[in-house]
């Protein structure tokens, strides 16, 4: 089993918090290691997205990947586009420092959950990473409330607000600097689907239909945009899945999953697709980071 070497709190930008990354490195192998960026979600309310990488790293490091836990600035520090600038800077830092850490600068993937999924997709669309794994990230802020379960009651209760994503205290409103309904142009600039064009990297999208915070419809929109632009994408839809992903380590927690795939603008349902586990994620990365 490969050991994990961790270099913590490496600064990739000027901010005192939010511009830090942790590198979880495999033992030196036959060549430079491909890199998986991980950023955990917080609704852009925290600047510690790198910390979740410690849970992801053991699986991937054992298989020869380096894992970079990347934090971006919270919305309390700076509004959009600061977070996009951060992930671009982090990818640039990894490429610049690849030789000294044994990284393959040409094989970088981005992965994250919730707002970290947003970070991953933005990295794919703006920073030239080779592949994206998006766990239930938001993609079009102004379409969220129309598709919230139970009218957004659980979302409101969790945040102590009333009015869903349109409320000035919602994560999306905080990100763009005010109520999303009053900041439509800012939302368009912060929406990942605004930037989907031909030539986007392959994406693996995973989203639960019972997600109480980010509607499943958000991933449907991303998948549709990728299809319309003839990009490659695989979409795992989980009927009972909420705003979490325990199924990556226990396939029994993903009953009834449906997998759709689009290649070159054509879509099909994948019969007999493997469950949405880390093994399946790694197989996707293995395919997309080679060649």
pLDDT tens digits along 86-135:
999 999 999 999 999 999 999 999 999 999 999 999 999 999 999 999 99
Could you give the 3-state DSSP secondary structure of residue 204?
strand
Domain interval for residue 260: 5-138+195-288
The mean pLDDT of 139-165, rounded to a whole number, is 97
Rounded CA gap, 284 and 134, in Å?
A: 12
Residue 154 burial (CB count, 10 A):
15
Rounded CA gap, 23 and 19, in Å?
A: 13
Length of the chain: 291
83 has pLDDT over 90 = yes
Rounded CA gap, 40 and 48, in Å?
A: 8
> How much is the pLDDT for 80?
98
Q: In terms of domains, do 124 and 159 share one?
A: no
Residue with tokens 């994250």: 112
Q: In terms of domains, do 210 and 98 share one?
A: yes
Q: In terms of domains, do 9 and 117 share one?
A: yes
Q: In terms of domains, do 120 and 237 share one?
A: yes
From 171, 190, 209, the end of a domain falls on: 190
The tally of CA atoms less than 13 A away on the side-chain side of residue 250 is 6
Rounded CA gap, 92 and 228, in Å?
A: 29
CATH number of the domain enclosing 50: 3.40.50.1820
Could you give the 3-state DSSP secondary structure of residue 238?
strand
From 174, 190, 206, the end of a domain falls on: 190
Q: Give the pLDDT band of residue 30 (cuts 50, 70, 90).
A: confident
From 158, 190, 222, the end of a domain falls on: 190
Q: In terms of domains, do 262 and 124 share one?
A: yes
* Cβ atoms 23, 68 nearer than 8 A: yes
The 131-135 sheet, strands edge to edge: 5-11, 20-25, 66-70, 33-39, 103-113, 131-135, 203-208, 233-238, 258-263, 266-269
Counted domains in the chain: 2
DSSP state of 26: P
CA distances in angstroms from 186 to 90, 137, 171, 280, listed in the order given: 23, 18, 14, 36
Q: In terms of domains, do 258 and 123 share one?
A: yes
Q: In terms of domains, do 17 and 116 share one?
A: yes
Q: In terms of domains, do 151 and 123 share one?
A: no
Q: In terms of domains, do 110 and 245 share one?
A: yes
As given in the structure block, the two tokens for residue 72 are 């971006």
Q: In terms of domains, do 160 and 132 share one?
A: no
Q: Give the pLDDT band of residue 1 (cuts 50, 70, 90).
A: very low
Rounded CA gap, 212 and 153, in Å?
A: 9
CA distances in angstroms from 131 to 52, 167, 280, listed in the order given: 19, 33, 14
Rounded CA gap, 75 and 173, in Å?
A: 9
Mean pLDDT score across all residues of the chain = 96
4 has pLDDT over 90 = no
Q: In terms of domains, do 186 and 49 share one?
A: no
pLDDT tens-place string over residues 65-75: 999 999 999 99
Q: In terms of domains, do 62 and 117 share one?
A: yes
């Amino acid at each position: 089993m490969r050991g994990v070497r961790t270099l913590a709190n490496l600064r990739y930008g000027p901010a005192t918090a939010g511009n830090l990354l942790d590198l979880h490195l495999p033992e030196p192998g036959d060549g430079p290691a491909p890199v998986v960026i991980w950023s955990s979600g917080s609704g852009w309310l925290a600047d510690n997205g790198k910390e979740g990488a410690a849970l992801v790293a053991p699986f991937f490091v054992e298989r020869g990947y380096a894992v970079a836990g990347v934090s971006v600035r919270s919305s309390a520090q700076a509004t959009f586009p600061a977070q996009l600038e951060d992930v671009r800077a982090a990818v640039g830092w990894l490429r610049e420092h690849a030789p000294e850490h044994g990284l393959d600068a040409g094989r970088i993937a981005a992965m994250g959950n919730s707002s970290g999924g947003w970070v991953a997709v933005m990295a794919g669309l703006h920073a030239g990473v080779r592949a994206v794994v998006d766990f239930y990230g938001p993609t079009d802020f102004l379409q969220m409330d129309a598709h919230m379960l139970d009218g957004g009651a659980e979302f409101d209760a969790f945040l102590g607000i009333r009015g869903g994503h349109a409320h000035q205290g919602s994560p999306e409103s905080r990100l763009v600097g005010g109520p999303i309904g009053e900041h439509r142009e800012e939302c368009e600039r912060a929406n990942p689907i605004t930037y989907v064009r031909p030539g986007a990297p392959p994406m693996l999208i995973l989203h639960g239909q019972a997600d109480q915070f980010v509607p499943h419809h958000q991933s449907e929109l991303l998948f549709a945009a990728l299809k319309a632009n003839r990009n490659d994408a695989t979409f795992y839809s989980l009927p009972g899945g909420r705003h979490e992903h325990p199924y990556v380590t226990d396939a029994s927690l993903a009953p009834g999953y449906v997998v759709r795939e689009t290649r070159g603008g054509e879509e099909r349902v994948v019969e007999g697709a493997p469950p949405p586990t880390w093994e399946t994620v790694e197989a996707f990365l293995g395919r997309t980071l080679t060649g």
